A and B are shown apart, each in its own frame.
Chain A
Amino acid sequence: MLVKVKEFETFLHNCVKDNPKEIGQVIAACQVPVNPDSRFFIDIKEGKQLCLNSYRTVEPTRLLYYFTREQVEPFNRSDKKRIIVGVKACDLSALKLLDKALLEDDFQDPSYKYWRENTILISSDCQEFSSVCHCTIFDGKPWAEDGFDVNLSKVNDSYNIITGSSKGDFFIELLKRFVNISEQSSINQEKVKIKRQDYYNKLKEKNEKYTIESYSDLRVQDIKNWNKESKKCIGCGACTNICGICYCLILNDESTDDQFIKVRSTDSCQLNGYARVAGGDTPRPQMYDRFRNRYLCKFDYVQSKFNTYGCTGCGRCIEACPAEIDIREVVKNVKVVV
Chain B
Amino acid sequence: MADKNPFKTIPAKIYEIVDESPLIRTIKVKPEINFPFQTGQFAEVSVPNIGEGPFTPSSPQSFGFNLEFTIMKTGFVTEHIHKTKVGDIIGLRGPFGSRYPIDEWKGKDVLIMGGGVGMAPTRSLFLSMVDNIDDYNSITFLIAARTPADMIYKDQIQEWSKIQKVKILKAVDKVPEGEKWDGDVCLVTKLLEKVKIKPKDNPAVTCGPPIMMKFGTLELLKYGYAEENIYLSMEKKMYCGHGQCRHCVMGKYYACKDGAVFTYDKIKNEEKIWE
List chain A positions with a Cβ less than 8 A from chain B.
72-73, 75, 101-102, 105-110, 219, 247-257, 260, 262, 264, 267, 269, 274-281, 283-284, 297, 300-301, 304-305
C-alpha spacing A278/B244, complex, angstroms: 19
- Residues of B contacting A75 in the complex (Cβ-Cβ under 8 angstroms): 5, 7
List 8 interface pairs A-B (beta carbons < 8 Å), by A numbering.
Answer: A72-B7, A107-B1, A247-B246, A249-B245, A256-B49, A260-B11, A275-B247, A277-B236
Q: B7, A262: Cβ atoms under 8 Å?
A: yes
Cα(A210)–Cα(B217), bound, Å:
44
Complex interface: chain A residues within 8 A of B244 (CB): 101-102, 105, 107, 109, 247, 249
Q: Which residues of A contact B1 (CB under 8 A)?
A: 106-107
Q: Which residues of B contact A249 (CB under 8 A)?
A: 239-240, 244-245
Q: Mark B238-267, 1 if CB is under 8 A from A, else 0.
A: 011011111111011000000000000000
Question: Is B6 a contact partner of A107 (Cβ separation < 8 A)?
Answer: yes
Decide: B4 and A107 in contact? CB cutoff 8 A: yes
B9 and A248 contact, CB distance less than 8 A: no
Q: How far is the CA of A250 from the CA of B243 in the complex (A)?
A: 12
B residues engaging A (CB < 8 A)? 1, 4-9, 11, 46-53, 74-78, 91, 235-237, 239-240, 242-249, 251-252, 271-272, 275
Q: How far is the CA of A64 from the CA of B190 in the complex (A)?
A: 57
Max chain A CB contacts within 10 Å: which of B11, B46, B53?
A: B46
Q: A107-B6, A260-B11 are in contact. Are A250 and B245 (CB under 8 A)?
A: yes
CA distance A105 to B275 in the complex (A): 28
CB-CB under 8 A for A277 and B235, given A247-B244, A249-B245: yes
Given contact pairs A109-B6, A280-B75, a sample of 8 additional A-B residue pairs in the complex whose CB atoms are under 8 Å apart: A107-B1, A110-B5, A249-B239, A251-B52, A253-B50, A254-B49, A267-B247, A304-B252
Pick from A105, A254, A275, A301: contact of B236, CB below 8 A. A275
Instruction: Evaluate contact between A278 and B77: CB separation under 8 angstroms.
Output: yes
Please name all residues of chain B whose beta carbon is closer than 8 Å to the beta carbon of A248 when the two chains form the complex.
245-247
A105 to B239, CA, bound (A): 17
A281 and B275 contact, Cβ closer than 8 Å, known pairs A72-B7, A105-B243, A253-B47 = yes
In the complex, are the beta carbons of B49 and A255 less than 8 A apart? yes
CA distance A297 to B51 in the complex (A): 27
Structural contact, A251 and B239, CB atoms closer than 8 A: yes
Contacts of A102 in B (CB 8 A): 244
**CA distance in complex: A248, B248 (Å):** 10
Complex alpha-carbon distance, A232 and B91, angstroms: 43
The interface residues of chain A lying within 8 Å CB-to-CB of B240 are: 249, 251
Tell me which of A250, A269, A277 has the highest count of chain B C-beta atoms within 10 A of its own C-beta: A277
Contacts of B243 in A (CB 8 A): 105, 107
Main secondary structure of the interface of B (DSSP, over half): loop
B246 with A260: CB separation less than 8 A? no
CB pair A251 B245 closer than 8 Å: yes
In angstroms, Cα B46 to Cα A327, docked, is 38
Nearest chain B CB to A66 CB, angstrom units: 10
Which residues on B sit within 8 Å (CB–CB) of A300?
251
- The CA of A251 and the CA of B91, in the complex, are separated in Å by 13
Q: Is the CB of B48 within 8 A of A260?
A: yes
| Chain A min CB distance to B227 (Å) | 20
Chain B residues within 8 Å of A107, by CB? 1, 4-6, 242-244
Tell me whether B4 and A260 are in contact (CB under 8 A): no
Q: Which residues of A contact B91 (CB under 8 A)?
A: 253, 255, 260
CB distance from A100 to the nearest CB of B (A): 11
| CA A218 to CA B247, docked complex, whole Å | 20
Within the complex, what minimum Cβ distance (angstroms) separates A295 from chain B? Answer: 13
Nearest first, the 3 A-B pairs at minimum CB distance are A278-B75, A255-B48, A73-B7
Contacts of B49 in A (CB 8 A): 253-256
Candidate in B74, B77, B243, B249 with the most chain A CB atoms within 10 angstroms: B249
Closest CB of chain A to B125's CB: distance in Å?
22
Which chain A residue has the least Cβ–Cβ distance from B240? A251
Q: Which residue of A lies closest to B235 (CB)?
A: A277
Give the complex CA separation of A267 and B275 in angstroms. 21
A253 and B52 contact, Cβ closer than 8 Å, known pairs A267-B245, A275-B237, A301-B251: yes
Cβ-defined contact, B75 with A260, below 8 A:
no
B174 CB to nearest chain A CB (Å): 21
| Contacting residue for B272 out of A252, A253, A283, CB 8 A | A283
How distant is A261 from chain B, measured CB to nearest CB, in Å? 9
Contacts of A219 in B (CB 8 A): 271
Q: Give complex CA distance A219, B269 in Å.
A: 12
Shortest CB–CB separation between residue A91 and chain B, in angstroms? Answer: 20
- Most chain A beta carbons < 10 A, residue from B7, B51, B243, B251: B7
Query: Within the complex, what minimum Cβ distance (angstroms) separates A29 from chain B?
Result: 28
Cα distance, A281 to B78, chains bound together (Å): 15
For B51, what are the chain A residues with a Cβ–Cβ distance below 8 Å? 252-253
Chain A residue at smallest Cβ distance from B4: A108
What's the nearest-Cβ distance from chain A to residue B74, in Å?
4
